[in-house]
Chains A and B, each alone.
Chain A
Amino acid sequence: MNNFKELSFKTVTYIASLFTIVVLLGIIFSIFLGGTPVFQYVSLTKFLSSPSWHPTHDPPDFGILSLIIGSLLVTAGALVISIPLGLGSAIYISEIASQRVREILKPIIELLAGIPSVVYGLFGMAFLSPFLIRIFKIPTGLNIFSASIILGLMVVPIISSLSEDALSSVPKSLREASLALGANKWETIIRIVVPAAKAGIISSIILGFGRAVGETMVVLMVAGGAAQIPSNIFQPVRPMPATIAAEMGETVIGSPHFYALYGIAIILFVITFISILITEFIVMRKKR
């Protein structure tokens, strides 16, 4: 009887994990199936290197360089904001704060992750954008800068909580040895604890990158949606996820435009896939 229980439990969990893999493979397969036909209409090099995105013009232009650059700039901006905030709060929570403060601070930062992205978007559109126009006297508040701020706030909890885990798991003996050798708290944190947790911190940043590059609602609402290569950070851009979200709903299934949107999805998938591979690689190397 016990044997049967064990076997059935094994089978159930096995099927559950298998199911996830099947779904993942199915999604990958369908993206590539839906995206490859676009290359009948435009060559891969032109698709990736032309900045001109006019999918409904006659004849249409399917160049996504400006969309890729838009995505990367907004994501880079988000990391510039979220790395200091996330890492700083992680160090404070893990190394400096008292037990009580830690118990209050940690859930508050994690709560940031629970806010729906559309609420972030609304905040950016209705509050941050008019505010930036007034402060910086810029023509429009929907731009790389404002999208970076909002995205950065969304990524903070990811970097913060994962880095905090990495910092907390640094053995106490290392800290004690450092203090015993005469280093003060600041030196111990910067020279000993942070380098020891380096792998975990870097993978938290890469995961944050993956989150930011794929985030859709915020960039749809706040980035402005102009398919151009910007010359400064106060200009609007059209990141890849925003393009797919804005256009997929009203695009005729089976048209070149439809395939082109799937083509963008392939590029987006490849970018996030590579970022996850790097994370896995770092984590694995650390374990050895």
Chain B
Amino acid sequence: MLFLKNTMKKILYYILSIMVLLTFTCSGKIKKIKIAGSTTVLPIIQAAAEEYVNLHPDTDISVRGGGSSIGILSIINQIIDIGSASRPVNKQEIEMLKNKNRDLIETAIALDAISIIIHPENPVENLTLVQLQKIYSGQIENWLALGGKDQKLVVISRDTPSGSFAVFNEIVLEQKKVRSDALMLASNNAVATNVAVTPGAIGYVGIGYVNEQVKLISISGIKPETESIMNRAYPLTRELFMYTLASTRSLAQEFIDYLLAEQGQQIVEKQGYIRIKPAGLRQ
């Protein structure tokens, strides 16, 4: 009984001390920045937000995923301060902005390359955009036609609402529909994991998700590397955007400036993405 009482007391102390700590950390924060959007941009923002809050203890940043469409929609509806997206705004969104008489400011903060990955035992090293289109639209069924082994293709794509899917479809598929037997997976990680265990697989992920268990291939002889991405030679290069409203900018702008500065760009690099500004250049 006594023992129980003591443990209860201990637990109570822990809870109390945690609560006290929480109130200390929460108090005094007046400025709040709410960010939501692309899961591709999420790791950059999370890391940068941590650093930024360390530098500016009077600021509180809340970061949420949800996807590019949610990010853009939320900023249009003024629910958040910054919307992140892995694709530019589309026609309907521009229409919506016009109706609401609002202006979005678009800032590219990092570069990403949609990287084509295959199983490590697959001998294929290089594909062209035309071949990729044929693979994803269903005109090629076997690796033999691509200079590989006699093996059935397993085409892996991202789920339809993802920003990666939108960009990939626009550049690679143009107006064609993705083949109906393609595996549609919900995340970059799911694509990488499944390519790693499936011998005939081909898939695409953000460059930050390429690991040793999969084989990265080049497109028309160009590999997605820092240089080829920065000078946009790699055809599946895309910009990662932060969107703000022209009317409510100031605080959000400070955070975006921080991302564009040398320190922010170093965070971009550390997270496995490519900086949008060359090293050493200050804004």
Q: A interface vs B, CB < 8 Å?
A: 51-58, 61, 66, 125-126, 129-130, 133, 139-142, 220-221, 224-228, 235-236, 238, 246-247, 249-253, 255, 257
Contact = CB atoms under 8 A, between A and B. Distances in A.
Leading 5 A-B pairs by shortest Cβ distance: A250-B67, A250-B161, A225-B184, A228-B180, A130-B197
Contacts of B162: 250
24 contacts: A52-B180, A56-B161, A58-B175, A66-B180, A125-B194, A139-B200, A140-B183, A140-B200, A142-B183, A220-B186, A225-B183, A226-B180, A226-B182, A227-B180, A227-B184, A235-B181, A238-B184, A246-B161, A246-B186, A250-B66, A250-B68, A250-B159, A250-B162, A252-B73
B29 interface: no
A133 B199 contact: yes
Nearest to B201: A140
A249 B152 contact: no
B177 interface: yes
Interface in B182-204: 182-186, 190, 193-194, 197-201
A232 to B, nearest CB: 12
A133 B198 contact: yes
Contacts of A66: 180
B69 interface: yes
Interface in B114-157: 151-154
B180 A250 contact: no
Nearest to A129: B197
B159 to A, nearest CB: 5
B200 to A, nearest CB: 5
B70 interface: yes
B180 A56 contact: no
A60 to B, nearest CB: 10
Contacts of B166: 56
Nearest to B68: A250
A236 B159 contact: no
Contacts of B159: 225, 246-247, 250
A252 B184 CA distance: 19
B258 interface: no
A253 to B, nearest CB: 7
B209 interface: no
Residue among A126, A235, A236 with max Cβ neighbours from chain B (10 Å) = A236
Q: Interface residue tally of chain B, by bracket?
A: 35 or more
A246 B186 CA distance: 6
Contacts of A140: 154, 183, 194, 198, 200-201
A4 to B, nearest CB: 37
Contact of B160 (A56, A224, A253): A56
A106 B162 CA distance: 44
A249 B73 CA distance: 13
Contacts of B178: 54
Residue among A126, A220, A224 with max Cβ neighbours from chain B (10 Å) = A224
Contact of A141 (B69, B152, B198): B198
A220 B187 CA distance: 11
A246 B184 contact: yes
A142 B194 contact: yes
B149 to A, nearest CB: 13
A251 B197 contact: no
Contacts of B153: 139
B167 to A, nearest CB: 12
Contacts of A133: 197-199
Contacts of B199: 133, 139
A260 to B, nearest CB: 11
A251 B67 CA distance: 9
Nearest to B200: A139
Nearest to B155: A226
A45 B161 CA distance: 25
A57 B182 contact: no
A225 B178 CA distance: 13
A126 B160 contact: no
B181 A250 contact: no
A226 B92 CA distance: 27
Nearest to A143: B183
Nearest to B175: A58
A284 B31 CA distance: 62
Given A133-B198, A140-B154, A247-B159, A57 B177 contact: yes
